[in-house]
Amino acid sequence: MSIRIGIYGYGNLGRGVEAAIRQNNDTELVAVFSRRNPETVKISTEGVPVVSADSVEDYKDKIDVMIICGGSATDLPVQTPKLAKLFNVIDSFDTHANIPTHFANVDVAAKEGGNVGVISVGWDPGMFSLNRLYANCILTDGVDYTFWGKGVSQGHSDAIRRIEGVADARQYTVPVQEALDAVRNGENPELTTRQKHTRVCYVVAKEGADKAAIEEQIVKMPNYFSDYDTTVNFITADEMARDHSGLPHGGLVIRSGKTGLNGEHNHIIEYSLKLDSNPEFTACVLVAYARAAYRFSQEGVSGCKTVFDVPPAYLSALSHEEIISHLL
* Contact pick of 2, 11, 23, 192 for its own copies (by CB under 8 A): 23
Scan residues 281-300 and list those touching its own copies (CB under 8 A).
Answer: 281, 283-285, 288, 291
The least distance separating its own copies from the CB of residue 297, rounded to whole angstroms, comes to: 16
State yes or no: residue 44 binds its own copies (CB under 8 A). yes
What does 252-268 look like in DSSP terms, one character per residue?
A: EEEEEEEESTTS-EEEE
Contact between 48 and its own copies by CB under 8 A: the answer reads no
Stretch that binds its own copies, among 192-200, 201-209, 228-236, 265-273 (CB under 8 A): 265-273
Is 1 or 137 the residue whose CB approaches its own copies more closely? 137
Residue 207 or 321 having the CB closest to its own copies: 321
Contact residue for its own copies among 89, 113, 280, 294 (CB under 8 A):
280
Displacement of CA 165 from its chain's centroid (Å): 31
CA gyration radius, the chain: 22
Q: Which is nearer to its own copies, 136 or 195 (CB)?
A: 136
Listed ranges 2-10, 29-37, 82-90, 314-322: which one lies at the site for its own copies (CB under 8 A)? 314-322
> Which of the 8 DSSP states describes residue 174?
E
Q: In the complex, what is the shortest distance from the CB of residue 317 to its own copies, in angstroms, rounded to a whole number?
A: 8
Give the residue, chosen from 12, 136, 154, 231, that forms a contact with its own copies under the rule CB under 8 A.
Answer: 136
Q: Distance (Å, rounded) from C-alpha 37 to C-alpha 235?
A: 36
For the bound state, the minimum distance from the C-beta of residue 34 to its own copies, rounded and expressed in Å, comes to: 19
In angstroms, rounded to a whole number, what is the distance separating the alpha carbons of residues 14 and 32? 8
Per-state percent for the chain, helix, strand, coil, to nearest 5:
40, 25, 35
**Rounded Cα–Cα distance for residues 160 and 131 (Å):** 32
Does residue 316 interact with its own copies by CB under 8 A? Answer: yes
Enumerate residues 138-157 that contact its own copies by CB under 8 A.
Answer: 138-141
Alpha helices in the chain (DSSP H): 12-22, 76-84, 99-113, 127-138, 154-161, 177-184, 193-196, 211-219, 237-243, 278-298, 320-326
SS3 32: strand
Q: What are phi and psi of 192, to 5 degrees?
A: -80, 165
* Nearest to its own copies of 85, 255 (CB atom): 255
DSSP-derived secondary structure for 192-219: -HHHHEEEEEEEEEPTT--HHHHHHHHH
201 binds its own copies (CB under 8 A): no
Closest distance of CB 16 from its own copies, Å:
7
Which residues are near its own copies by CB under 8 A? 16, 18-20, 22-24, 44, 96, 99-100, 103, 120, 125, 127, 129-134, 136-141, 184, 246, 259-261, 265-277, 280-281, 283-285, 288, 291, 306-313, 315-317, 320-321, 323-325, 327-328
